[in-house]
Structure 1
Amino acid sequence: MRLKLQKIEKQVGAEQFLYPMSIDLQPNTVNVLLGATLAGKTTLMRLMAGLEPPTGGEIFVDDQDVTGLTVRNRDVAMVYQQFINYPSMTVFDNIASPLRLRREKNIAAQVNALAAKLHIDPFLKRLPAELSGGQQQRVALARALAKRAPLILLDEPLVNLDYKLREELRDELTQIFANGESTVVYATTEPSEALLLGGYTAVLEAGRLLQYGATPEVFHQPASLSVARAFSDPPINLIAARVSADGHQIAFGQGLILNLTAALQPSQTVTIGMRANALRVQARPGDLSLSGLVELAEISGSDTFLHVKTQLGNVVAQLTGVHYFDIASTITLYMSSEHAYLFDSTGILTVAPRGTAISFKAGV
């Protein structure tokens, strides 16, 4: 199913929830809506579902204008962050309800298979009220998947689950969606979740669409500083710099120079971006070194997030493995030109790591 939004917007009173945006979602694959809280993800999904009308613009499904159709007249399944189940039905009957409406055969087998994938098969005879919040969320998710609608809308469906289960279910959902039977729209605040789900990603901020495209492309080539910030966790390291008078060098910090093979506008202010996982504590040939003081070494799972105060400001390095550092100790970080982003004075991407024309050298 192809879902196309054309200059869609939403305003309530004087408050603008969504500014005019156009998206032609990639059909029969996963489309991620990535953005912080209040970015407009839920509002956009409600318009897609027909739960409320847009203030302006049009919505097309397979080239048919459905802007005025309510949710009852659209074949859509939706799971909210706040789960909704039929309280008087058992878990089995909740999941089976869309199958029975379609008069499907082998309903028990289908329910059992979905319940097993979502780890709720031991609870099929229970009522939703007898389950934990995370278990009830999985019931709602299973019922939505059982509906096999051409459009499936998932509004942060795993946010109420513990970390381990969230990882397992994310893998399961990726496999389920790989069959290409439905167009899936999945809202999340987590960049890592967007990367794991793959497909296509739309980055939203304060009701505006910043960028839409294949997820790896949006991640590796963010169109602007705003996209780079939204699609980096931990936050991307940003360093203010200025282009030289001849346009072929960028100076930042004391004695630190970037050489450019292609000239930029002379004397303009620019921003260098470096993701946390691009900073290292081991040197490689051609690296630029940056010294500083350790402020915090935060261990999370199998990674260590090292916070360092440098002459360029505070930076964060994401190191693979568990490492221990003394607070206030001196440390040297290393970075390579292969991982540098360059944004112009308006915040637009000028150079991305892939195909970059930037090379680092130590200045005088």
Structure 2
Amino acid sequence: MELTLDKVGKVVGAETWLRDIDLTLQPGAVTVLLGVTQAGKTSLMRVMAGLDAPSSGQVRVDGRDVTGVPVRERNVSMVYQQFINYPSFKVFDNIASPLKLRGEKNIAERVRALAGRLHIEPFLDRYPAELSGGQQQRVALARALAKGAPLMLLDEPLVNLDYKLREGLREELTQLFAAGDSTVVYATTEPAEALLLGGYTAVMDKGRVLQYGPTAEVFHAPRSLQVARAFSDPPMNLLAGEAGAGRLRLPGGLDLPLPRAMPGLVGPVTLGVRAGALRTAPRLGDVALPGTVELSEISGSDTFVHVSTTAGEMVAQFTGVHHFALGDAITLHLHPEHVHLFDAAGLLLSAPERSSLA
């Protein structure tokens, strides 16, 4: 199923929720809507589903205009942040409900297969209220998958679950989506979730789609500073620089060669450096950034170090657990090939070659 949005806008009262969105979803693939809270993700999904009509523009499904066609006349399934199940139905009947409505055969077999894939088969004879939050969300997901709709919309479905449950379900969902034929739209505020789900990503901000494309491509080559800020966790390090004579000059007298041949590049630029591109042990061609540790924090299996350098504030991400004391002198090392360059208007000039990031 191909879903196309043509100049779609949504105005509610004096507020503009969606602004001239042009977007054609890749059929049969996962598209992640990535953006902060109130970026417009839920508003866009409601228009896609037919829950809301756009104020302007057109929605097409496989070339047919469905603008304003209500959700009850479309074949769509949707899963929300707050899991929604039928409280008076047991788990089995919750999952089976869309199959029964369609008069499907082998319902028991299909329900048990879905429940097994989502690890809720032992709870089929229980009511939703007897389950944990994570188990209830799995029931809602199983019912959505059972519907087999050509368009499946998931609005931050894991946000209210604890860390361990989220991690497990993300991996399972990636496999489930890959095994199905639905076009899937998945909203999240977390860049790591977008990367894990893969597929395609639409980065949103203030009701606009800033960039859409294969997830890895959008991550490695953000079209603008806005996209780079949105699709980076921790945030991309941004340093003011001046380009000239084939080199980049940074505050504090630091200097490095242009990462790629860009004849005639002169004037103010912004350097973007991912936290994972910084290291403490130098390699051939690295530039040294001396500084002082301002904060060190451990998250999962990574250590994040906030460093004050003469070029600006930096965050470095190191794999493993490391100890850095506040106030310690530290030298970060960076290879010029790992730098993103943005012009004075915030548009991408160049991005690292994917092979250079290995």
Q: TM bucket by the smaller chain?
A: over 0.9
Answering whether residue 98 of structure 2 is matched by residue 98 of structure 1, we say yes
For each residue in 1:172-209, what CA deviation from the matched residue of structure 2 results, as whole angstroms up to 9, or x when unmatched? 11111113511000111111111111111000011111
User: 1:249 Cα shift?
Assistant: 2.4
From 229, 247, 250, the counterpart of 2:248: 250
The worse-fitting range, judged by mean Cα deviation, of 3-12 and 156-165 is 156-165
Which residue of the partner structure matches residue 32 of structure 2?
A: 32
- 2:124 is matched with 124
After superposition, the Cα gap between the structure-2 partners of 1:133 and 1:165, relative to the gap in structure 1 and judged at 3 Å, is closer
Q: Secondary structure at the match of 1:119?
A: coil
* Partner residue in 1 for 2:232: 232
Q: Residues of 2 paired with 1:177 and 1:119: CA distance? A: 16
CA deviation string 1:307-364 (max 9, x = no partner): 111112221101011111111110111111221000000000001011899xxxxxxx
Could you say which residue in structure 1 is the equivalent of 2:289?
290
SS in structure 1 of the partner of residue 38 of structure 2:
coil
d(CA) in 1 for partners of 2:292, 2:214: 38
The more displaced of 158-167 and 289-298 is: 158-167
- Conserved 8 A contact 2:3-2:62: yes
Contact 2:279-2:332 at 8 Å conserved across structures: yes
TM-score between both structures, scaled by the size of structure 1? 0.94
Within-5 A mapping of 1:1-364: 1-244=1-244, 246=245, 248-260=246-258, 261-266=261-266, 268-354=267-353
Corresponding pairs, count: 354
The one-letter amino acid of 1:353's match is P
Percent of paired sites with the same residue: 64
Inter-partner Cα distance in structure 2 for 1:159 and 1:143: 19
1:360 corresponding residue in structure 2: none
Query: What is the CA-CA distance between 1:153 and the residue it aligns to?
Result: 0.3
Counterpart residue identity of residue 61, structure 2: V
Taking the aligned partners of 1:299 and 1:212, their CA distance within structure 2 comes to: 32
What is the identity, as a one-letter code, of the residue corresponding to 1:275? R
> 2:231 and 2:344 mapped to 1: Cα distance?
20
Structure 2 distance, partners of 1:136, 1:343, is 45
Contact 2:33/2:186 (<8 A) preserved: yes
Deviation at 1:67, TM superposition (A): 0.5
Per the alignment, in what secondary structure is the counterpart of residue 254 of structure 1?
A: helix
Please say which of residues 218-227 and 321-330 is displaced more in the overlay. Answer: 321-330
Provide the rounded CA distance (Å) in 1 between the counterparts of 2:160 and 2:138: 10
- Which AA in structure 2 matches 1:289? A
Pair 138,264 (structure 1): closer, same or farther in 2 beyond 3 Å:
farther
| Offset, 1:131 | 2.3
- Cα separation, partners in 2 of 1:207 and 1:177, compared to 1, 3 Å: same
Retained in 2: the 8 A contact 1:243–1:264? no
> For 1:113-138, what per-residue CA distance to the aligned partner results, in whole angstroms no more than 9, with x for missing partners?
22222222222222222223322222
Contact 2:203 2:230 in 1 (8 A): yes
Q: How far off is 1:265 after superposition?
A: 4.4
- The separation in 2 between residues aligned to 1:270 and 1:240, in whole angstroms, is 6
Deviations 1:251-281 (A, max 9, x none): 1022322333323443x22100000000111
